[in-house]
Structure 1
């Protein structure tokens, strides 16, 4: 891998995100290590260095995805530091609370952290991704997206909140976003989504009682995030192999509708940097 490749991995303080960051940094990429707060970021970077990663390959960055202002600030910090971004790995996610939680932005927390925040971050980094010959977005989704539906009239689940349904909706939205990036955002060169497998992380209760090692899931994500790896643009991967996404995830009318709704819910136009 040529030097100076820059990859942003969100949610890189533990689980698949941490191991993905380690694999990519070991492969000579500069990895922007995203954390919710400075303490978690410093701890993760120190763990990575202790594991043998060159500290010059690590750049900690902070944003709590439950606050879209912080997401916008993260995008600004990355754009100010790097003239281009080769790969963005949208890995950060939560399983969701048993009871409905609303963010300060007014959205149901699972929908915001798992979908609206990565949507906003990606859109605000379009210029930097467009500046790379790779310009790839890797969305870490889930096979559970196939059981989800977009609650168009109530995406924040003000009525009849259900933890599993909220999680499935968020992952369906992220998979639909992958299709939108290939169809509606020509400045993004490549986008894929991936179910990394049933892995023993904090998300495991959504799938099963047992899961494979974190390293297995991270290897799948890191391979797709490797700038030198070839990917099928717009594809949903189930582990290493291309797979069929839910029909709703690629339905053009629904994909376009979600794109427009997301612009409004994230106040995208207001958060774009003003050009002189």
Structure 2
């Protein structure tokens, strides 16, 4: 059990890129950071590096979980709930672009949807009780400006027709934003005032992102690389939303470069959001709020 006075942060996708930088900066700020990662070897290496930066008495821990597997998400959440008294910051950072051929998760969902939306959606639901035990918890969902290219089909969220990796990714990033907006609304509706949530665009980050996707996607990232930002720069808005007192009272926003931005999408209407939320609950097999 961690020190009751120490803030606890859980960061997904924390072994590389902006997730690793985010976790590192939170460790430097004195947070007890829990790294949620798929790869045990990479997680152990990252934990060892971050532990060297931690303040005396501050731990860096690991939870192993593939977010595309809802069973693993449930197991990881149960382990977290048993080990820790509360959760102060949840950063749903992990996100992937998959290949030209449509893949499905062990639960039968399209892999982009499963990894980038359904896993974080379920994880947040299962950790909500611990978040409510924090004096002022923050949920940060890393989205992308790619949401502007989203064209979701509510009748086919699993992309069984007309699949393309970039369309699936764009849709998943819009879903991150809509999840944030609707979660903020429902938290307010339920009178839960000590939990806020915001989403963000980190910038186009130069990394190995998209390396397992189509040749066209890889070629785009290679050509655009000189104009991309670094992981250090890309993590700054996540860190800002997780720690800055300036946004302590903000919930449901979408940010880029630490500034709020409007979400312009024809899909972003109350009827679609309600339907999308219901579909998400059906796919994870439970209501988000365990009332």
Q: TM-score, normalised to structure 1's length?
A: 0.91
Q: 1:124 to 1:39 in 2, by over 3 A?
A: same
Alpha-carbon distance in 2 for matches of 1:238, 1:141: 10
Give the aligned partner of residue 225 of structure 2. Answer: 209
Instruction: Give the C-alpha shift of residue 66 in structure 1.
Output: 1.9
> What SS does the aligned partner of 1:23 have?
helix
Alpha-carbon distance in 2 for matches of 1:249, 1:36: 32
Alpha-carbon distance in 2 for matches of 1:222, 1:162: 32
Gaps of 5+ in 2: 211-217
Q: Contact 1:28 / 1:57 at 8 angstroms: preserved in 2?
A: no
Q: 1:63 to 1:272 in 2, by over 3 A?
A: farther
Give the aligned partner of residue 261 of structure 2. Answer: 243
Alpha-carbon distance in 1 for matches of 2:209, 2:254: 19
> What SS does the aligned partner of 1:104 have?
coil
Instruction: Give the C-alpha shift of residue 58 in structure 1.
Output: 0.5
Give the aligned partner of residue 65 of structure 2. Answer: 63
Alpha-carbon distance in 1 for matches of 2:161, 2:145: 25
Instruction: Give the C-alpha shift of residue 111 in structure 1.
Output: 0.7
Q: 1:162 to 1:32 in 2, by over 3 A?
A: same
Q: Contact 1:10 / 1:91 at 8 angstroms: preserved in 2?
A: yes
Q: Contact 1:7 / 1:86 at 8 angstroms: preserved in 2?
A: yes
Instruction: Give the C-alpha shift of residue 43 in structure 1.
Output: 1.4
Instruction: Give the C-alpha shift of residue 249 in structure 1.
Output: 6.3
> What SS does the aligned partner of 2:273 have?
helix
Give the aligned partner of residue 53 of structure 1. Answer: 54
Give the aligned partner of residue 173 of structure 2. Answer: 171
* Structure 1 residues 165-222: Cα deviation after superposition (integer angstroms, max 9, x where no partner): 1000101111100011111234472110000111112337576333111100112211
Q: 1:40 to 1:248 in 2, by over 3 A?
A: farther
Alpha-carbon distance in 2 for matches of 1:23, 1:177: 26
Q: 1:19 to 1:260 in 2, by over 3 A?
A: same
Alpha-carbon distance in 2 for matches of 1:234, 1:94: 23
* Structure 1 residues 8-34: Cα deviation after superposition (integer angstroms, max 9, x where no partner): 100101100001000001100111111
- Number of positions where the alignment pairs a residue of Structure 1 with one of Structure 2: 271
